[in-house]
Amino acid sequence: MRRAPRAEHGVVLVTVALFLPVLALFLVFVLDVGNWWVHKRHLQMQADAAALAGGGRFAECLSTAQSGTAYANMQDEAARYAGATDAVWNPQVGGANRGPVTVLFNSQTFAVGGPGPDDTVPGNACDSMMFDVKLTEADLPLFFGGIAGFDVVPAVNARARVELQKVRQEAGVRPIAVRDDSAYRCADALFVDDFTGAVLQTVPLTTRTTLPDLTTQFSNPGGAPVAMPAGPHLGVRVRLGDCAGNSETYADPVGGVSFVNVYSTGSAGGDPLVRSVSLPPGLSNCTPDPYFSTNACTLVVKAYVSFAAGAITSGPSQNVFVRINGGQATAASDAGGTYWTASFSVAWY
C-alpha cells in the first residue's frame, strides 16, 4: 500500500489521453491552412499568367480599327491561363477538392469577398491602357469541415495587372517601352501663328491607314490640296486624339514644326508643287541621325519640287530657283523627279 501512490504505471496513457485533442487540432490546422495557402499561391500564379498573356496583346489596340475586337482577344488569351473551368492551361490545384474559379477583367471588385473597389478603370483596356485580372476561388472545401463551425473557405482571391504609362520624368534612365502615337485614332493639322500661338486653320486628317509595319498614317481625304493661311510666322502643329475630345498637340520645342512631308496629286502645269521634304540619312554629319542629333552638325535638306512645263532648273538659262533656310538650293534629278538640296549648320543644346 505504501508503494501504490508512488507507482508510475499508466502515466503515458493519461498523457496521451490529455494531449490527443490538442494534437488533433494541430493536425486540422496544418492540413486545412496549408491547403488554403497552396490554393492561394496557385491562384496568384494563375492571375499573373493571365495578366501577362492578355497584356501581351496590347499591340493589337494600336493596329486594330475596332479596339473592342482587340480587347476581346486580350480576354480570350488571358482566359486560357486563368484557371477557370474551361481553361486550357493552369487548372486550379486540388482535383475534386476545390471551388469554382471566377475570372473578372477590368473589374474594381472581386466576384466574392475581398477589399472594396480599387483604382481599376472599368471597360475597354485599349482605352485605359490597363488590363486588370481578378480571380476568385469560392467555397474551398475544408478537409475537416464542421470542426470549427464551418465547412468551406468562402473565398480565395488573387489579382494582377499590366498597365502602360507615359514617362513623366527621367534622369540617367531610358524606358524599355513607350506609348506609340499610332495609339491615337484621330488627328488634325493645326496652322498656327508661332508668335501668338493662335490657331489660324484646322485641317482634319480623317483618312487613317495602318501600314505593313503596324504604324499609323493620317492624311486628309484623297490627299486634296490645302490652302495655307497667309502670315509671316506660320507654323504647323499635329493634334492627336482619341476621337472623344481628349487630345495632345505635338510641335517643335520652340514652336512650328520639325518635319513636313507633303504630297500633291496635282499636275505640274501651274504653281510649283512641293512633293516632299526630308533630311536624308547619310548626307549630314549629325549623330545618330539628322532628326535626333546629339551634336552640332551640318544638315542636308532634300525637297522634290515640280514646276510648270518649260521651267529650266539648271544651266545658264535657269529660270526657277528654290531657297531652303534662306540659301540657294541646287537642283538634280533621279527616279523620283527633280529635287533640290541645300545644307546649313545647326547648333546643339
Could you tell me where the beta strands, DSSP code E, fall in the chain? 101-105, 130-141, 152-163, 186-193, 199-204, 207-210, 216-219, 234-241, 247-250, 273-278, 297-306, 323-324, 327-328, 330-334, 337-346
Whole-number pLDDT of residue 27: 67
pLDDT given for residue 30 in this prediction: 72
pLDDT of residue 66: 58
Residue 29 vs residues 19, 92, 115: alpha-carbon distances, Å: 15, 22, 25
Is residue 113 scored above 80 in pLDDT?
yes
Instruction: Please check whether residue 130 is in contact with residue 51, taking contact to mean a CB–CB distance below 8 angstroms.
Output: no
Least confident of 83-87, 302-306, 322-326: 83-87
The pLDDT assigned to 258 comes to: 45
Place of cell 469560392: 138
pTM above 0.85, yes or no: no
Distance between start and end Cα atoms, the chain: 108
- Residue 116 scores a pLDDT above 80: yes
The C-alpha cell that represents 271 in the structure block: 504653281
Residue 78 predicted with pLDDT over 80: yes
pLDDT tens-place string over residues 168-177: 666 666 556 5
Residue 186: predicted pLDDT: 84
pLDDT at 272 over 70: yes
**Mean pLDDT throughout 149-168?**
82
CB 25 within 8 A of CB 148: no
Interval 7-32: pLDDT, tens: 666 667 777 777 777 676 666 667 77
pLDDT confidence of 255, banded at 50, 70, 90? very low
Q: How many CB atoms lie within 10 A of CB 175?
A: 10
- Rounded to whole angstroms, how far apart are CA atoms 177 and 78? 21
Cβ atoms within 10 Å, residue 35: 19
Per-residue pLDDT tens digits for 186-213 = 888 888 887 777 888 898 888 888 766 5
Quick one: average pLDDT of 233-246? Answer: 78
Q: Is 301 exposed, middle or buried (0-12, 13-18, 19+ CB in 10 A)?
A: buried
- Using CB atoms within 10 Å of the CB of residue 54, give its burial: 0 to 12 exposed, 13 to 18 middle, 19+ buried: buried
Q: What DSSP string runs through 96-143?
A: TS-PPEEEEES-SS-SSSSSS--S---S-HHHHTEEEEEEEEEEEEPT
